Amino acid sequence: MQNPDDILSIEDLTIHYETDEGSVHALNEVSLAMKRGETLGLVGETGAGKTTLARGILRLVPSPPGVIKQGSVFFEGQDLLSLSESKMRSIRGSRISMIFQDPMTSLNPVMTVGEQIQEVVEAHNRDLRQDEIIRQANAMLEMVGIPAERSHEYPHQFSGGMKQRVIIAIALACNPVLLIADEPTTALDVTIQAQVLDMITALKKRLNTAMLLITHDLGVVAQNCDRVAIMYAGQIIELGNLDDIFKRPTHPYTRGLLGSIPSLTKDVKRLSPIKGLMPDPTDLPPGCKFAPRCRFVTEACERAMPEPTHLSETHQVRCILAEAEVRNG
Amino acid sequence: MADVLLRVEHLKKYFDTPGGTLHAVDDISFDLNRGETLGVVGESGCGKSTLGRTILRLYEPTDGTVYFENQEITSLSNKSMKVLRRDMQIIFQDPFASLNPRMTVSEMIAESLLIQKIFTRKQGPQLRARVTELMDLVGLSSKLINSYPHELDGGRRQRIGIARVLALDPKFVVCDEPVSALDVSIQAQILNLMQDLQDEFGLTYLFITHDLSVVKHLSNDIIVMYLGQMVEKAPAKELFSHPMHPYTRALLSAIPVPDPDYAVDRVLLKGELTSPIDPVPGCRFAKRCPFVTEACTKADIPLREITPGHFVACILV
């Protein structure tokens, strides 16, 4: 059931980590599609499976212990999960790139930043001449706001925000169709975060790159994304555009998340947190994964996992209370 | 008259580094009333943690004085200071790094009671009763009494840190980014707990954080720090409705608000935090300030009271 407009279409992707302590159900039947040029925010707390999903798309889940149990990842019409390793390698970094969270550890400390960008350009364009590689790498550096003269410097000579810019330059060097950004600004201060996010948004617009933006910060999502997927215990429990999620949040977990954030614009005397903790991923409840923490839990919730219900063309949610509402009009 | 619990006057903390003298805290003064919360915000490297630690004399101040309940504590001997530490406590950011991995929950909570000689080892039953009471107070289930830190999640670890502090029945607590390492749903649980404890025991908080929405939620007054200096101080509501210093305005406008309709006039700053090593006279924010004038870099900018209770260090205001 692929839509020809989608550049990425994930179906029923399930990834487990087989460990001595048992099988960690990191990702459970996740389905998701992305269109060219759009920004999709992937939100969830620690352990929700955001990073496993991102790595799953790029086939970077360490194995062992990671096992892809089922599902497919269609990207530009081909199933990435059935490609050979060398084919996959030619896609990584050129058609799909990834930015990792920690700018301090993603760069090679003994290579100049210029060399690190050139390396990517060269790896994906084997027949380019050396001066052309350098020219392209310098152009990328200028594009992220770093003067090309600094290409001879080493990562330790750059601040955190500058390092993250270098990483963005590397990620965009081959003009990818899809950029996966895993908490790209979490390690940065807010004023620097604002600079970096503005820059990413401007660049992706210019290059018409789609972006999967992984974050735990709903503020970053509201200011930068077109659509939002909320993850909980390895599943997407609510998916919609910004208005769906922020104005008509339906899943009790989404509502709980929004109630947990201290507001800058309203006066709230007391926060309304979600009680309890995320379930143990080696021992997930059989029904709705959120049921043990849910204020509206019913007996039926604990029996079977609710299937995604479409509330509108853009908005879907996995909750039987929403299902009932839709059925009763 | 307000009941001033803590008075800080011209506090300075400099560190000698190979590159020169680092002005981590540079001439900070404020009063903190009993039962209130003073928020300290700023970006990494602005000196906010150093400020908290210097007040508690975990770092010896380079200059300036701290009064606690009208007693000058900057010149106290270590012995007298140790007694006073019952009243002045700190909760650290990383609840994993600040807990001993080889001690159980009950041992860690009992440790602070034993060190301060509130109980002795001989008083086993009373000590255990107090530990159980404290665990209950911070919402730790009694079945965790023999658990080790690695068995607990971040929220529970932070609850241990809070229980250790509460054990001493302190008056003043420095909270150094206590919720920054936690997920939002857990963060909200801990913030509510801290508010409840403040109401119940009349605690006074110095709340250090980089998260402006957290600080607005909790604080009576807020100090904004930039490179070791206080650039603005105001009541929380006033600061958010009328920010005056260009840095505060940029900081507020940079916060991503979880509301897609919320539009701000972004004051995007150029560049990044410069180094607080051997700063030259003048406004330390001048290099990044969109409104900089020649006069800004001539001399140090004093803090002035613009409206009652609202202090700003900027010549343009």
Residue-level pLDDT at A195: 85
Distance of CA B154 to the CA centre of its chain: 19
Put simply, the answer to whether A264 touches B255 (Cβ < 8 Å) is yes
Q: What is the pLDDT of residues B136-191, one digit of tens each?
A: 999 998 889 999 999 888 889 999 999 999 999 999 999 999 998 888 888 999 99
Put simply, the answer to whether A191 touches B155 (Cβ < 8 Å) is no
Is any Cβ of chain B less than 8 angstroms from the Cβ of A263? yes
Residue-level pLDDT at B1: 55
Confidence grade of residue B260 (pLDDT, cut at 50, 70, 90)? confident
Q: Are A191 and B251 in contact (CB under 8 A)?
A: yes
Is any Cβ of chain B less than 8 angstroms from the Cβ of A246? yes
Nearest-CA distance A216 → chain B (Å): 8
Q: What is the pLDDT of residues A48-106, one digit of tens each?
A: 999 999 999 999 998 889 999 999 999 998 999 999 999 999 999 889 999 987 777 88
Name the residue with higher pLDDT: B264 or B10: B10
Q: What is the pLDDT of residues A240-288, one digit of tens each?
A: 999 999 999 999 999 999 999 988 878 888 888 898 888 888 889 989 9
**Highest mean pLDDT of the ranges A192-196, A325-329, B193-197:** B193-197
Give the span between the Cα atoms of B62 and A230, in whole angstroms. Answer: 49
Instruction: Tell me the C-alpha to C-alpha distance, in Å, between residue B277 and each of A39, A219, B14, B305.
Output: 41, 34, 9, 28
For residue B27, count CB atoms less than 10 angstroms from its CB and return exposed for 0-12, middle for 13-18, buried for 19 or more. middle
> Mean pLDDT of all residues in chain A?
90
Q: Which of B32, B35, B45 is nearest to B279 (CA)?
A: B45
Q: What is the pLDDT of residues B26-69, one digit of tens each?
A: 999 999 999 999 999 998 889 999 999 999 999 999 999 999 99
Residues A11-30 have a mean pLDDT of: 93
For B59-96, letters b (16+ CB in 10 Å) and e give bebbebebbbeeeebbebeeeeeeebbbbbbbbbbbbe
* CATH code at B4-87+170-312: 3.40.50.300
Q: Are A110 and A134 in contact (CB under 8 A)?
A: no
Confidence grade of residue A2 (pLDDT, cut at 50, 70, 90)? low
What are the structure tokens assigned to A64, written together?
A: 């062992």
Confidence grade of residue B110 (pLDDT, cut at 50, 70, 90)? very high
Q: Where are the beta strands (DSSP E) in chain A?
A: 6-19, 22-35, 39-43, 66-75, 78-79, 96-99, 178-182, 210-215, 227-232, 235-241, 309-310, 316-317
Q: Tell me which chain B residues have a C-beta less than 8 angstroms from the C-beta of A104.
A: none
Q: Which of B177, B210, B217 to mutate to test the interface with A (most CBs of A within 10 A)?
A: B217
Q: Tell me which chain A residues have a C-beta less than 8 angstroms from the C-beta of B184.
A: 45, 216, 218, 257, 260-261
Put simply, the answer to whether B188 touches A190 (Cβ < 8 Å) is no
Residue-level pLDDT at A329: 60
Put simply, the answer to whether A261 touches B195 (Cβ < 8 Å) is no
Is any Cβ of chain B less than 8 angstroms from the Cβ of A222? yes
Put simply, the answer to whether B256 touches A220 (Cβ < 8 Å) is yes
Nearest to B254 among A194, A261, A265 (CB): A194
Q: Which residues contact A232 (CB under 8 A, 6 or more apart)?
A: A44, A45, A48, A253, A278, A289, A290
Nearest to A261 among B43, B184, B273 (CB): B184
Q: Are B236 and B40 in contact (CB under 8 A)?
A: no
Residue-level pLDDT at A100: 84
Residues B95-114 have a mean pLDDT of: 90
Nearest to B216 among A159, A223, A262 (CB): A262
Residue-level pLDDT at A220: 93
Q: What is the pLDDT of residues A205-249, one digit of tens each?
A: 998 999 999 998 999 999 999 999 999 999 999 999 999 999 999
Nearest to B259 among A222, A224, A260 (CB): A222
Nearest to B256 among A219, A247, A259 (CB): A219
DSSP letter at A117 equals H
Put simply, the answer to whether B43 touches A193 (Cβ < 8 Å) is no
Q: Which of A264, A280, A290 to mutate to test the interface with B (most CBs of B within 10 A)?
A: A264
Give the span between the Cα atoms of A32 and A236, in whole angstroms. Answer: 9
Residues A288-309 have a mean pLDDT of: 92
Instruction: Report the SS3 class of residue B295.
Output: helix
Residue of A nearest to B255 (CA): A190
Q: Are B121 and B203 in contact (CB under 8 A)?
A: no
Residues A298-312 have a mean pLDDT of: 91
Nearest-CA distance A220 → chain B (Å): 5
The size of the A-B interface in CB pairs under 8 A is 121
Residue-level pLDDT at B262: 83
Residue-level pLDDT at A40: 97
Concatenated DSSP letters of A251-319 = SHHHHHHHHHSPPSSS--SS--PPPS-PPPTTS--SS-TTGGG-TT--GGGGTSPPPPEESSSS-EE--
Confidence grade of residue B310 (pLDDT, cut at 50, 70, 90)? very high
Nearest-CA distance A67 → chain B (Å): 26
What is this model's ipTM?
0.82
Domain chopping of chain B, boundaries: 4-87+170-312, 101-160
Residue-level pLDDT at B2: 75
β B221-226/B37-41 pair status: parallel
Q: What is the pLDDT of residues A31-48, one digit of tens each?
A: 999 999 999 999 998 889
Nearest-CA distance A124 → chain B (Å): 32
Q: What is the pLDDT of residues A161-178, one digit of tens each?
A: 889 889 999 999 888 999
Q: Which residues contact B179 (CB under 8 A, 6 or more apart)?
A: B158, B186, B187, B190, B191, B209, B211, B214
Surface of A (116-175) touching B: CB under 8 A: 159, 161-162
Residue-level pLDDT at A278: 86
